[in-house]
């Protein structure tokens, strides 16, 4: 059973507007380590797992993704005919890979997350892959929550799994990864909860039986196909038809079959319908970079802030400021005076100024612009 890594590189460019746009979503922005794109950083992080790394992205972003990964030994860039959520996207990727390798063991990662400990991250993914292979089932990675977030999904822990049942996911094991992965506790899943209320999230953190759902999954290709067929046969049939069309080079037929699908995440489509899901409990610095504040916090954790907690990228001057995030990418100088916890992003054609506490409302700006027909800014 050969390990394959699938990196989901979707997104519509709303959370980090005005830098992120539909044509340049978050995973293509140069905000990863050392100014690299998040997509490239994700692929570089996954390559030591040893298997081919494939990227699933929208058809109109495929060339940009290839360019961002230039020089890296990647597998295929699988072009999704239309954005239909992680459920259909993973169904498409699994079926595409299984055409060439029916025995593939697949790990699925997201392209736009910040990871503060690459080794711990790889160990968690390796652990999930091992459980998926050992149980001929599905596995996910849950992260011990560090605060009561109402913006994340959670996965509940059921009965613990015996660590002795875990086995290395690759024929040629990696001893260091094996040891770190085998030490991570695992449980059966007791279900998912999406974005709970504040009091419920606080109870989850206090109770210790709920983990953040990171969207990191593993399964043998044949198992996922079987589960998808049982849970949503109409989706499975459309995905199969799409893959057949792509395999013949008939993009028009493939797109027609795929665009008929509804948009749905893989959790309600498959994972909430199965009794064969193992949850690996992990702990490492992580952020989904869901806002400018999240990006600022991730950079502060890496020691990038000045003595007053300010983060500046580009040509800018800050006087008497603290806790500010300033991105000057518009080709002009930006000056900020006497501000606290302020986000300022200059993209040239657009300028964003927002208090940090309202950073999540950037998506409201995008929705307003969309309603007003300002596609030139999206």
pLDDT digits (tens, 9 = 90+) for 66-86: 999 999 999 999 999 999 999
The set of residues, in sequence order, having a beta carbon less than 8 Å from that of 134 and lying 6+ positions away, is 165, 166, 167
Phi, psi of 302 (to 5 degrees): -90, 5
Can you tell me which residue has the tokens 């067929």? Answer: 229
- Two structure tokens written together for 78: 């699988």
pLDDT of residue 174: 87
Q: Tell me: pLDDT of 26 over 90.
A: yes
Phi, psi of 9 (to 5 degrees): -120, 65
Q: Tell me: pLDDT of 10 over 90.
A: no
Can you tell me which residue has the tokens 């081919």? Answer: 52
Q: Tell me: pLDDT of 173 over 80.
A: no
Task: Tell me the average pLDDT of the chain.
Answer: 94
- Distance CA(20)–CA(39), nearest Å, equals 14
70: number of CA atoms within 13 Å, CB side? 6
Average pLDDT over residues 207-221: 96
- Helices and strands: H and E segment counts in the chain: 12, 17
pLDDT of residue 13: 75
Count CB atoms within 10 A of the CB of residue 188.
17
Average pLDDT over residues 109-136: 96
Phi, psi of 210 (to 5 degrees): -130, 135
pLDDT of residue 319: 98
pLDDT of residue 1: 76
b or e along 203-237 (b: 16 or more beta carbons within 10 Å of the residue's beta carbon)?
ebbeeeebbbbbbbbbbbbbbbbbbbeebbeebbe
pLDDT of residue 242: 93
Q: Tell me: pLDDT of 49 over 70.
A: yes
**Domain spanning 3-287: which CATH class is it, in words?**
alpha beta
- Grouping H, G, I as helix, E, B as strand and the rest as coil, residue 113 is coil
Q: Where are the domains of the chain?
A: 3-287, 292-377
**Is residue 283 left, alpha or beta, with left meaning phi > 0 and alpha meaning psi from -120 to 50?**
beta
Strands (E), 202-263: 210-220
pLDDT of residue 171: 72
Angle between helices 251-259 and 233-247 (to 10 degrees): 170
Average pLDDT over residues 124-132: 97
- Distance CA(164)–CA(183), nearest Å, equals 10
Residue 172's pLDDT band, with cuts at 50, 70 and 90, is: low
pLDDT of residue 369: 96
* Segment 273-285, tens digit of pLDDT: 998 899 999 999 9
The pTM of the full predicted model, rounded to 2 decimals, is 0.93
The set of residues, in sequence order, having a beta carbon less than 8 Å from that of 83 and lying 6+ positions away, is 10, 12, 58, 263
Residue 91's pLDDT band, with cuts at 50, 70 and 90, is: very high
Q: What angle do CA 10, 42, 5 make, to 5 degrees?
A: 80
Residue 92's pLDDT band, with cuts at 50, 70 and 90, is: very high
- Two structure tokens written together for 298: 């991730």
In the chain, the N- to C-terminal Cα span, in Å, equals: 43
Q: Mind giving me the DSSP string for 64-92?
A: HHHHHTTTS----EEEESS---HHHHHHH
Phi, psi of 249 (to 5 degrees): 80, 15
- Distance CA(335)–CA(273), nearest Å, equals 53
């Amino acid at each position: 059973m050969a390990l394959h890594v699938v990196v989901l590189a979707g997104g519509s460019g709303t959370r980090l507007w005005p830098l992120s746009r539909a044509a340049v979503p978050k995973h293509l922005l140069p905000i990863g380590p050392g100014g690299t794109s998040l997509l490239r950083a994700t692929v570089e992080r996954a390559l030591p797992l040893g298997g081919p790394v494939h990227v699933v992205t929208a058809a109109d972003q495929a060339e940009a993704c290839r360019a961002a990964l230039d020089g890296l030994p990647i597998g295929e860039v699988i072009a999704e005919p239309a954005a239909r959520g992680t459920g259909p996207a993973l169904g498409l990727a699994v079926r595409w890979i299984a055409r060439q390798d029916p025995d593939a063991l697949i790990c699925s990662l997201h392209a736009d997350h910040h990871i503060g400990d690459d080794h711990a991250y790889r160990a968690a993914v390796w652990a999930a892959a091992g459980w998926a292979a050992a149980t001929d089932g599905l596995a996910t990675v849950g992260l011990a929550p560090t605060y009561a977030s109402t913006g994340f999904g959670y996965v509940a822990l059921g009965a613990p799994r015996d660590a002795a049942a875990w086995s290395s996911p690759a024929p040629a094991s990696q001893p260091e990864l094996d040891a770190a992965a085998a030490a991570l506790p695992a449980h059966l899943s007791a279900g998912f909860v999406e974005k709970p209320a504040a009091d419920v999230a606080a109870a989850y953190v206090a109770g210790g039986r709920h983990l953040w759902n990171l969207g990191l999954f593993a399964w043998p290709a044949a198992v996922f196909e079987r589960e998808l067929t049982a849970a949503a046969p109409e989706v499975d049939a459309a995905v199969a038809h799409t893959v057949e069309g792509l395999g013949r080079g008939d993009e028009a037929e493939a797109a027609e079959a795929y665009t008929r699908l509804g948009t749905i995440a893989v959790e309600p489509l498959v994972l909430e319908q199965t009794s064969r899901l193992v949850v690996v409990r992990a702990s490492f610095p992580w952020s989904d970079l869901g806002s400018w504040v999240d990006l600022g916090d991730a950079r502060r954790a890496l020691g990038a802030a000045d003595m007053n907690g300010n983060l500046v990228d580009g040509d800018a001057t800050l006087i008497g400021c603290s806790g500010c995030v300033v991105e000057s990418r518009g080709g002009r100088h930006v000056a900020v005076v006497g501000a606290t916890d302020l986000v300022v992003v200059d993209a040239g054609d657009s300028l964003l100024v927002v208090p940090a506490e309202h950073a999540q409302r950037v998506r409201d700006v995008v929705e307003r612009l969309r309603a007003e027909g300002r596609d030139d800014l999206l």
